Amino acid sequence: MAIRKGQIALLDMTMKPVDEAKIGVACIQMEPVFGEVEINVRRSIALMTQAAQKGANLVVLPELCNTGYVFQTREEAHALAESLDDGMTVKAWQAAARELNLYLVAGITERDGAKLYNSAIILGPDGPVGRYRKNHLWADEALYFERGNLGFPVFDLPFGKLGCLICYDGWFPEAYRLLALQGAEIVCVPTNWVPVPGGQPDDKAIANVLTMAAAHCNSIFVAAADRVGTERGQPFIGRSLIAAQTGWAVAGPASAREEEIITAEINLAAARRGRNWNAFNQVLRDRRRDLYDEMLGAEAASRWY
């Protein structure tokens, strides 16, 4: 169509959105064997390989998936924990991430001197990206682990900005909000969800509801990888899922009992585009900063690394 003098061609208004940040995401739902670190790491890498074959560029593994979860003594936890700088688990995962050309977010039992942390390691094809330490400890975790001391860091990856939470962190809306305020487009959640107080129907999990609500309220993608099985009498509920920025699941929830890989192809740019809900409302812009401070009282981001 010819454009007359004085006309403005609004071509961008009619173009289909491009896939600026299109990636394949996989959540691996597995059943670690308590204390069998080598077996668990080998199994996780085998499942990572399957996820890569399904097109995954970003893979999430469950909480503490290299050791198992239900420790009985601090000595036991300390013996199974590893340094994230030179531990066997990180070396093996790093080699796999390089070979498979993907990014990995994985729950790991971290030892830092005499202190232990329930942590997640973020690895990429070119090396380590960063770490996150669980800020909100659940039940007996408080007997073995220190509370996280790294705040809520956000990591710049080639396809977008990534944040991380672990399990019980997801019960605190402030955690997701602080990541979103720093620009996170996807939050990866290694988790070991357990039945919650008050019970739940067999076909539903309150953790799924909270995950989808956080995705919707912050316009972010959330990828939560849970474990299955029963360990030392503690059952885990599975139901891993990937939620879009709309809040609706685009993969999962997975089964309650079986090992499973759930995958989704997503465009992270939709997280930013989707924050404008209508002509008046944008979910982060509409915050009442006259009633509460910009970062909800948290420390400055520059001190979180």
Contact 34, 232 (CB under 8 A): yes
CA atoms within 13 A on the CB side of 192: 26
**Is-catalytic flag, 65?**
no
Residue of 27, 65, 164, 167 with catalytic role = 167
Residue of 134, 141, 161, 260 with catalytic role = 134
The token duo for 104 is 């990995």
CA atoms within 13 A on the CB side of 105: 30
- Order of strands, edge to edge, in the sheet holding 58-60? 127-133, 115-124, 103-112, 58-60, 22-29, 260-267
Residue of 31, 63, 141, 185 with catalytic role = 63
**Is-catalytic flag, 54?**
no
The token duo for 281 is 């409302």
**Is-catalytic flag, 16?**
no
Contact 219, 54 (CB under 8 A): no
Close Cβ partners of 263 (under 8 Å, ≥ 6 residues apart): 24, 25, 26, 27, 51, 54, 55, 56, 242, 251
Close Cβ partners of 301 (under 8 Å, ≥ 6 residues apart): 151, 153, 154, 182, 295
Residues tagged active-site: 63, 134, 167
